[in-house]
Amino acid sequence: MARTKAKFIDFDASVFGDDGSGKLTIQTGSAVSASSINISDTLKVGGDFSVGLPTLGKDATFGEGESHTNGMLIYRGESTSSLTQLNVAVSASSLNDGLTLPFWLTASREAVMYVSSDLQDSNGEYLHHHGITYSLQNAPSGSFIIEYYDGDSWEPVNYMVSKAEYPYYSYSKELGVPTASYQLRYDVELPLTWASSSIGTGEGSEPNRYWTRYRIDDPTGYGTIPEVDQLKLHSSGVKINSDGIIEYFGKSRIKGMMNLSNGLVEPAANNDGFGSTNNNDIIVGSPISVGRQDNSFDDLANQQYGIMTIIPNDMDTSSPVTVNLYWFLNTNNAGEVDLLLNTAHVNISGSIDNTVGNYNLQTISKTVTIGGNLSNELQKTTVKFYFSDVNSHSESNEQPLIAFGISREGATDSFTGSFNIAEMSGEYTKWSNGNPNII
């Protein structure tokens, strides 16, 4: 087996840049000598490692590297049957080269832009891309949609836009403002259902790639088509920006925990025919007992409770919030428990008067099938919600409020006995390691 050649530096080192030859210039901390090291070698640094200078900040990316145009494929057309491949190296790879790339040729519903990667892994499988980096040159107006192929049909992609530089504001699904660079992240779970496919015919026929399709959602009264000076594909990696702010891309995006403890639950007033829940203590062992309140749903009754929290300012809103319910029973009966899990968000200055609107309400019906003989056994049920229309780090620096509600339709389900919630948790995907102070 071939062994990777390693270079070892046992002194402080500073990276000054890449001269385009594939070599990094490494200068010693004493600034006496310098050496070039081929980046295909393994570089080991035994001393302090510094990237950038006080007068010239530089980025550092770990994992699969920086956003790139290597192997990037872009096809556009006035319809899916009339696609033309773009010369990416000319039209989209360089900043400030005087060339711009319009997303669509015409402002029609049929106009499309397909984006994919032609790179392959060691097994010959084509790679996913996890979003795009782009430099916006105009002020687009009008709504658009991004789609992917799931093996049967083209389905919407959840995505999030954020500024690619300080102060890294998020813009939900808006492309941003001109003469700035942005990150557009796809849902971290997209590869789970993404199928490779071919597109178009003739020149535009490219099989077995993982394509995203950009198109105008409603051409009626559509305004300005977005134009970018540069477009690059996201890979998986952790990026430390030139100002020290950390961002996550692709599979490197990590989980964060939301403040959704069952101990914060409040009983709900009678609402739409649902009453309040009851109390059920938890005895973990003879020396440990937890007196839970408002955590028990009776049979033969419709009951609910709710909890409120705030959207974390480092939430990647392209990806789902996973709510975990840890529950137990006090009987060995079998049957089905019918749950309604609701969530809604309210922006600052938005109304919380229960006579107004439904506050972006999402409802998931969940039937929990109980096979019997589960008395006092801890069980887990999971549901997922999306908040892709929310700005987690807006220019106003105001995070929306989220309300979660759990209801049991005990008057109509088939389980006889109480359904008790021991605890609940919420997990979200991070796009950054917290957000910067705005100074």
CB within 8 Å of 32: residues ≥ 6 apart: none
pLDDT in tens, 414-436: 999 999 888 889 999 999 987 77
Q: 279 or 174: which carries more pLDDT confidence?
A: 174
Share of the chain above pLDDT 70, in %: 77
Going across the sheet that includes 212-216, the strands are 83-85, 72-77, 112-117, 212-216, 144-149, 154-156
Contact 314, 410 (CB under 8 A): no
Q: How confident is the model at residue 305 (pLDDT cuts 50, 70, 90)?
A: confident
Between 16-30, 224-238, 406-420, the lowest mean confidence (pLDDT) is in 16-30
The pLDDT assigned to 19 comes to 45
Task: Name residue 381's amino acid.
Answer: T
pLDDT in tens, 201-230: 544 456 689 999 998 877 776 778 888 888
Question: What contacts 24+ positions apart, CB below 8 Å, involve 1-4?
Answer: 4/41, 4/42
Q: How confident is the model at residue 278 (pLDDT cuts 50, 70, 90)?
A: low
Q: How confident is the model at residue 84 (pLDDT cuts 50, 70, 90)?
A: confident
Instruction: Find tokens 């096809």 and name the residue.
Output: 75
CA dihedral sign of residues 411, 413, 415, 418: negative
For residue 37, pLDDT beyond 60: no
Among 217, 26, 32, 9, which residue's Cα sits nearest to residue 108? Answer: 217
Q: 195 or 28: which carries more pLDDT confidence?
A: 195
The pLDDT assigned to 6 comes to 45
Q: 396 or 294: which carries more pLDDT confidence?
A: 396
Between 52-61, 228-237, 343-352, 378-387, the lowest mean confidence (pLDDT) is in 343-352
Q: How confident is the model at residue 177 (pLDDT cuts 50, 70, 90)?
A: confident
The pLDDT assigned to 205 comes to 57
How confident is the model over 26-53, as a mean pLDDT?
Answer: 56
pTM of the full structure: 0.85
The pLDDT assigned to 268 comes to 58
Q: How far is CA 52 from CA 10, 57, 185, in A?
A: 19, 5, 26
d(CA 49, CA 27): 10
d(CA 206, CA 258): 42
Per-chain mean pLDDT for the chain: 81
The pLDDT assigned to 102 comes to 87
The domains of the chain, with CATH numbers, are: 6-57 (no CATH), 72-252 (2.60.120), 256-429 (2.60.120)
Share of the chain above pLDDT 90, in %: 37
Q: 22 or 186: which carries more pLDDT confidence?
A: 186
Q: How confident is the model at residue 18 (pLDDT cuts 50, 70, 90)?
A: very low
In DSSP notation, 83-114 reads EEE--HHHHTSSTTSS--EES-SSSSTT-EEE
d(CA 343, CA 362): 5
Peptide bond into 167 cis (omega under 30): yes
d(CA 325, CA 327): 6
> Which segment, 39-53, 114-128, 397-411, is predicted with the most confidence on average?
114-128
Q: How confident is the model at residue 55 (pLDDT cuts 50, 70, 90)?
A: confident
d(CA 288, CA 22): 62
The pLDDT assigned to 20 comes to 44
The pLDDT assigned to 385 comes to 94
How confident is the model over 243-265, as a mean pLDDT?
Answer: 87
The pLDDT assigned to 275 comes to 63
Task: Name residue 399's amino acid.
Answer: Q
Q: How confident is the model at residue 96 (pLDDT cuts 50, 70, 90)?
A: confident
d(CA 193, CA 144): 22
Q: 397 or 438: which carries more pLDDT confidence?
A: 397
How confident is the model over 347-371, as a mean pLDDT?
Answer: 78
Q: How confident is the model at residue 172 (pLDDT cuts 50, 70, 90)?
A: confident
> Which segment, 76-90, 192-206, 292-306, is predicted with the most confidence on average?
292-306
Which string of b and e fits 314-324 if b means at least 16 CB within 10 Å?
bbbbbbbbbbe
The pLDDT assigned to 48 comes to 73
pLDDT in tens, 317-336: 999 999 999 998 989 999 99
Percentages helix, strand, coil for the chain (3-state, rounded to 5) are 5, 45, 50
Q: How confident is the model at residue 360 (pLDDT cuts 50, 70, 90)?
A: confident
